[in-house]
């Protein structure tokens, strides 16, 4: 990234910060702030850490004047947030933050940025369902934030959560990832639990998944159904046939559960299958970390120029990042393309290849921030 | 005096009683016969913690006042000895004691004690017909060290709540006691006070070095005594599988901690398909650190998180660290 490009981005970011409202985290005075600047080492990330601010005015002034490429604050509150050694800061509690990022999450490769974001969004939706249903949180207990890059952050600041240590947070993460769920234990347990309240939400999820699995099997053509069932470990072809015929006689799955048709090992592999579909793929160490930094909601992501956007549940559902997180306008900017790319910002699909071209500002910023283009100042020729 | 205070001297109610009694350190040291009994009993309390054999007989019950103040003095003794292992053992012993007393109480008293302790330790609960319902955040503070699937949130959580049976509630209370005692120690006492306590602390110090609180890992390495998780990792390596990073870290630091030499550990990895002598040696050295024991291997709950824990029954149920498993096995070999 050449100095002109950095200068341009910094100017644009500064314009944004001087006008836009800042979303302050609660107790922002007790948090450590950190910044990456558009300086000579950029885009290498040199983090300036251990800053603290006493007033909102100071923060706004700093952002407007410095126009950083990336802005973070600590998830923790400290008695001395600007102390440079962790042990001197005196930890007082930390938000519980879930970080769902395409880089860590995706198993198969998704080619388009939009497709990738969709997959992360689905995973985030799963997480939110767990938080509301199993953990009993209310929409007002969490905030959802588009990270400005390739994912979402979910912040929880409920009083009972902030004092949890990383060990306890790990227990929550284990829940979400289904770690420690054992088919054997579940089977033994479900045969003797009497009260419905004693069934865990995970158990209900698994039961529902298995019900639906058999419902789907029942809807299939008999031949396909048999071969699908036979592929489950420990069922085998002969049993698969019997199961399919039982299924077609009866509208509910219940008799199947009670019958001895499905051997224990097959139940186990079905349960394992269910868990792998239902669990949320989140990063364990990151979520359990009680001293980490997170992007400031409402700041700009230097690697995309997109806004780190706080969302209500409702807005999250309808959220289209390449539209709703765009803060720059469409006045034209001249750039030199380094890598051919296709963008689809503000509903406009733009294909660029190696040449100098004029682009709407939002697309130009996006390409420059991603390192795909350089700023081209327009010169008047004299010859 | 209310018997509850003598039985559960770490509760807030007991603290209030001690406060109101007006007894100070000085008056406790100079109250003649009463002092003798209190100090005598507190030495026994600490001695039993040092011994830390879960099967040892409970101490004989003294007069309520003596019971309560011997706990207070016991804390002073532990604080003057200033060994973090002892603090832990003391907390364990008190927790074990709480557990036994709660479990062995008659039903009426038991219910009363449980209710009072819950209030005292600040654990909010709605109880109904011997079922205790807690918010999950209140539960996971106490279950970190408890082993077994019944303590994992995955198996219990329902709409933010977990419902516990009475015997489970008692286990959680004992854990809460352990943490309360643990976090309250050591007290900041003047060196003058500790000097006055030397006649009582010095035999205890001796007892400590006798049972050697720091288990010597210098003996010969016994692969037989390794916990199931480590055995599983070892056999994966033997079978030529590559270990994930956390697994490799766990195994290496474990082997280093039970006294294996760098060369021997490197040798273990030799069958691994991506074996690279220099790299492995470097990694092992790094994990071992200069002193040989820089990195403590991960505990059972971390092992579980990364899917490397393979057993939750038998001895595994009672320990929370692979090293404790190893030490316990060694003792009984
Ligand atoms: S309980 Fe602990 S020692 Fe036992 S297998 Fe699991 S991790 Fe290993």
In this predicted model, what pLDDT tens digit does every residue of A162-219 receive, in sequence order?
999 888 898 999 999 998 888 777 777 666 555 555 788 998 899 899 888 888 888 8
Do residue B120 and residue B206 come from a single domain? Answer: yes
What would the two tokens of residue A334 be? 């001249």
Alpha helices (H) in chain B, listed in sequence order: 3-7, 12-21, 25-29, 33-51, 64-81, 84-104, 107-120, 136-143, 153-156, 166-183, 191-211, 228-238, 245-257, 262-269, 277-288, 300-305, 315-318, 322-331
Query: Which band of pLDDT confidence, cut at 50, 70 and 90, is reported for residue B89?
Result: confident
Averaged pLDDT for residues B104-127: 90
Cα of B107 from ligand 1 centre, angstroms: 35
Could you tell me what percent of chain B has a pLDDT over 90?
22
Check pLDDT > 80 for residue B200: yes
Helix (H, G, I), strand (E, B) or coil at A81: coil
Do residue B194 and residue B93 come from a single domain? Answer: yes
Cα of B174 from ligand 1 centre, angstroms: 22
Check pLDDT > 90 for residue B100: no
**Residue B36: which CATH number?**
1.20.930
Query: Which band of pLDDT confidence, cut at 50, 70 and 90, is reported for residue A108?
Result: low
Check pLDDT > 50 for residue B215: no
* Catalytic annotation, pick one of A15, A134, A141, A283: A283
Q: How far is A275 from chain B (nearest CA, A)?
A: 11
Interface with chain A: mutation pick from B153, B176, B244, highest number of A CBs within 10 Å: B153
In chain B, the number of structural domains is 2
CA A263 to chain centre: 38
B64's CB contacts (< 8 A; 6+ apart) are B1, B2, B3, B5, B6
Closest to A302 (Cα-Cα) out of A359, A368, A374: A368
Q: Residue A251: its pLDDT value, please?
A: 61
Do residue B52 and residue B199 come from a single domain? Answer: yes
Helix (H, G, I), strand (E, B) or coil at A233: coil
Helix (H, G, I), strand (E, B) or coil at B318: helix
Look at A90-99, A144-153, B88-97, B177-186 and tell me which has the smallest mean pLDDT: B88-97
Cα of B27 from ligand 1 centre, angstroms: 49
More confident residue, B271 or B253: B253
Q: For residues A68-98, b (16+ Cβ closer than 10 Å) or e, as one string?
A: bbbbbbbbbbbeebeeeeeeebebebbbbbb
B332's CB contacts (< 8 A; 6+ apart) are none
Query: Which band of pLDDT confidence, cut at 50, 70 and 90, is reported for residue B213?
Result: very low
Option in A164, A173, A201 nearest B137 (CB): A164
pLDDT tens for each residue of A138-161:
999 999 999 999 899 999 998 889
Do residue B174 and residue B294 come from a single domain? Answer: no
Q: Residue A182: its pLDDT value, please?
A: 80
Can A283 be counted among the known catalytic residues? yes
**Ligand 1 atom nearest to CA at B308:** 7
Query: Which band of pLDDT confidence, cut at 50, 70 and 90, is reported for residue A51?
Result: very high
Do residue B158 and residue B302 come from a single domain? Answer: no
Closest to A98 (Cα-Cα) out of A59, A50, A137: A137
Averaged pLDDT for residues B274-297: 68
Could you tell me what percent of chain B has a pLDDT over 70?
91
Angstrom distance (rounded) from CA A158 to CA B162: 18
A192's CB contacts (< 8 A; 6+ apart) are none
Ligand 1 within 6 A of CB of B170 = no
Q: Is residue B215 situated within a structural domain?
A: no
Do residue B313 and residue B200 come from a single domain? Answer: no
How far is it between the farthest Cα atoms of chain A?
91
**Ligand 1 atom nearest to CA at B310:** 5
CA B20 to chain centre: 31
Pick the residue whose CA is nearest to atom 1 on ligand 1: B316
Place of tokens 């002034």: A61
pLDDT tens for each residue of A109-122:
666 777 788 889 99
Averaged pLDDT for residues B187-216: 78
A202 vs B contacts (CB less than 8 Å): 154-155, 157
More confident residue, A233 or A203: A203
What is the domain range of residue B81? 3-210
Q: Residue A369: its pLDDT value, please?
A: 95
Instruction: List the single residue in B with minimal CA-CA distance to A279.
Output: B154
Q: Which of B210, B240, B270 is the last residue of a domain?
A: B210
Closest to A301 (Cα-Cα) out of A20, A32, A68, A28: A68
Check pLDDT > 70 for residue A353: yes
Q: Ligand 1, from B305, B322, B329: best to mutate by most atoms within 8 Å of Cβ? A: B322
Q: Do B158 and A200 touch (CB under 8 A)?
A: yes
Do residue B174 and residue B292 come from a single domain? Answer: no
Q: Residue B216: its pLDDT value, please?
A: 44
Q: Residue A257: its pLDDT value, please?
A: 64
Q: Which of B159, B180, B210 is the last residue of a domain?
A: B210
Check pLDDT > 60 for residue A345: yes
Pick the residue whose CA is nearest to atom 3 on ligand 1: B322
Check pLDDT > 50 for residue A92: yes
Query: Which band of pLDDT confidence, cut at 50, 70 and 90, is reported for residue B55?
Result: very low
Phi-psi category of residue B20: left, alpha or beta, with phi > 0 → left and psi -120 to 50 → alpha: alpha
Q: Are A9 and A367 in contact (CB under 8 A)?
A: no
Q: How many CB atoms lie within 10 A of CB B235?
A: 10
Do residue B172 and residue B228 come from a single domain? Answer: no
Q: Is residue B229 situated within a structural domain?
A: yes
Do residue B71 and residue B191 come from a single domain? Answer: yes
Asked whether the ipTM of the predicted complex exceeds the cut of 0.90, the reply is no
What would the two tokens of residue A316 be? 């999250």
A174 vs B contacts (CB less than 8 Å): 152-154, 304-305
Query: Which band of pLDDT confidence, cut at 50, 70 and 90, is reported for residue A248?
Result: confident
Q: For residues A17-26, b (16+ Cβ closer than 10 Å) or e, as one string?
A: beebebebbe
Q: Residue A195: its pLDDT value, please?
A: 57
Do residue B135 and residue B257 come from a single domain? Answer: no
A129 vs B contacts (CB less than 8 Å): none
Do residue B195 and residue B236 come from a single domain? Answer: no
B158 vs A contacts (CB less than 8 Å): 134, 197-201
Averaged pLDDT for residues A272-301: 89
Q: How far is B98 from chain A (nearest CA, A)?
A: 24
Q: Residue B214: its pLDDT value, please?
A: 43
Can A134 be counted among the known catalytic residues? no
In this prediction the pTM is 0.78
Q: Residue A186: its pLDDT value, please?
A: 77
Check pLDDT > 80 for residue A258: no
Q: Do B157 and A198 touch (CB under 8 A)?
A: no
Query: Which band of pLDDT confidence, cut at 50, 70 and 90, is reported for residue B58?
Result: low
Q: Which of B159, B176, B210 is the last residue of a domain?
A: B210
Q: Is residue B185 situated within a structural domain?
A: yes
Do residue B15 and residue B121 come from a single domain? Answer: yes
pLDDT tens for each residue of A1-21:
999 999 999 999 999 999 999
Task: Name the residue ranges covered by the structural domains of chain A.
Answer: 3-176+282-324, 183-278, 332-375
CATH architecture of A3-176+282-324: Alpha-Beta Complex (3.90)
Q: Are B299 and B320 in contact (CB under 8 A)?
A: yes
Quote the mean pLDDT of chain B. Answer: 84
């Amino acid at each position: 990234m050449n100095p002109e490009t950095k200068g341009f981005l910094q100017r644009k970011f500064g314009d944004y910060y001087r006008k836009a409202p800042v979303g302050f985290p609660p107790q922002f005075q007790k948090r450590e702030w950190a910044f990456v600047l558009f300086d000579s080492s950029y885009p290498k990330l040199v983090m300036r850490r251990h800053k603290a601010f006493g007033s909102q005015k100071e923060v706004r002034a700093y952002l407007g004047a410095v126009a950083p490429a990336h802005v973070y604050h600590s998830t923790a509150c400290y008695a001395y947030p600007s102390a440079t050694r962790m042990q001197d800061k005196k930890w007082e509690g930390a938000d519980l933050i879930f970080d769902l990022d395409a880089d860590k999450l995706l198993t198969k490769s998704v080619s388009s940025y939009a497709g990738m974001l969709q997959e992360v969004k689905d995973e985030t939706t799963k997480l939110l369902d767990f938080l509301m249903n199993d953990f009993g949180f209310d929409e007002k207990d969490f905030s959802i934030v588009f990270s400005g890059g390739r994912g979402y952050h979910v912040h929880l600041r409920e009083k009972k959560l902030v004092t949890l240590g990383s060990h306890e947070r790990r227990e929550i993460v284990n829940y979400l990832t289904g770690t420690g769920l054992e088919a054997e234990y579940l089977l033994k347990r479900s045969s003797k639990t009497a009260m419905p309240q004693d069934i865990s939400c995970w158990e209900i999820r698994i039961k529902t998944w298995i019900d639906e699995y058999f419902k789907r099997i029942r809807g299939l053509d008999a031949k396909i159904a048999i071969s699908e069932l036979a592929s489950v470990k420990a069922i085998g072809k002969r049993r698969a046939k019997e199961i399919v015929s039982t299924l077609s006689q009866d509208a509910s799955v219940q008799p199947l559960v009670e019958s001895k048709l499905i051997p224990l090992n097959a139940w186990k592999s079905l349960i394992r299958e269910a868990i792998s579909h239902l669990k949320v793929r989140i990063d364990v160490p990151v979520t359990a970390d009680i001293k980490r930094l997170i992007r400031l909601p409402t700041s700009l992501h230097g690697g995309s120029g997109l806004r780190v956007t706080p969302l209500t549940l409702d807005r999250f559902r309808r959220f289209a990042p390449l539209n709703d997180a765009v803060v720059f306008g469409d006045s034209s900017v001249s750039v030199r393309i380094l890598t051919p790319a296709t963008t689809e910002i503000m509903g406009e699909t733009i294909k660029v290849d190696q040449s100098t071209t004029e682009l709407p500002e939002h697309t130009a910023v996006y390409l420059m921030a991603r390192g795909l283009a350089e700023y081209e100042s327009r010169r008047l020729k004299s010859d | 005096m209310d018997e509850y205070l003598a039985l559960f001297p770490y509760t807030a109610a007991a603290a209030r009683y001690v406060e109101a009694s007006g007894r100070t350190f000085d008056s406790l040291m100079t109250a003649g016969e009463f002092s003798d009994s209190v100090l005598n009993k507190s030495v026994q309390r600490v001695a039993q913690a040092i011994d830390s054999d879960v099967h040892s007989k409970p101490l004989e019950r003294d007069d309520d006042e003596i019971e309560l103040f011997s706990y207070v003095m016991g804390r002073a003794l532990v604080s003057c000895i200033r060994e973090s292992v002892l603090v832990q053992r003391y907390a364990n012993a008190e927790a074990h004691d709480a557990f036994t007393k709660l479990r062995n109480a008659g039903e009426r008293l038991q219910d009363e004690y449980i209710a009072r302790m819950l209030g005292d330790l600040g654990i909010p609960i709605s109880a109904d017909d011997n079922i205790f319902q807690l918010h999950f955040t209140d539960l996971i503070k106490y279950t970190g060290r408890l082993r077994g699937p019944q303590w994992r949130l995955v198996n219990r959580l329902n709409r933010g709540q977990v419902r516990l049976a009475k015997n489970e509630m008692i286990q959680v209370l004992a854990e809460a006691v352990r943490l309360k005692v643990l976090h309250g120690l050591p007290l900041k006492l003047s060196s003058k006070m500790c000097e006055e306590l030397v006649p009582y602390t010095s035999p205890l110090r001796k007892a400590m070095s006798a049972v050697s609180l720091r288990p010597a890992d210098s003996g010969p390495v016994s692969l037989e005594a390794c916990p199931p998780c480590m055995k599983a990792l070892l056999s994966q390596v033997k079978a030529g599988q590559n270990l994930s990073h956390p697994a490799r870290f766990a195994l290496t630091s474990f082997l280093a901690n039970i006294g294996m030499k760098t060369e021997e550990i490197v040798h273990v990895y030799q069958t691994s398909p991506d074996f690279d002598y220099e790299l492995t040696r470097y990694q092992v050295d790094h994990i071992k650190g200069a002193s040989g024991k820089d990195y403590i291997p991960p505990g059972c709950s971390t092992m579980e998180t990364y899917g490397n824990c393979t057993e939750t029954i038998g001895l595994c149920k009672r320990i929370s660290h692979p090293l404790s498993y190893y030490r316990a096995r060694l003792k009984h070999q």
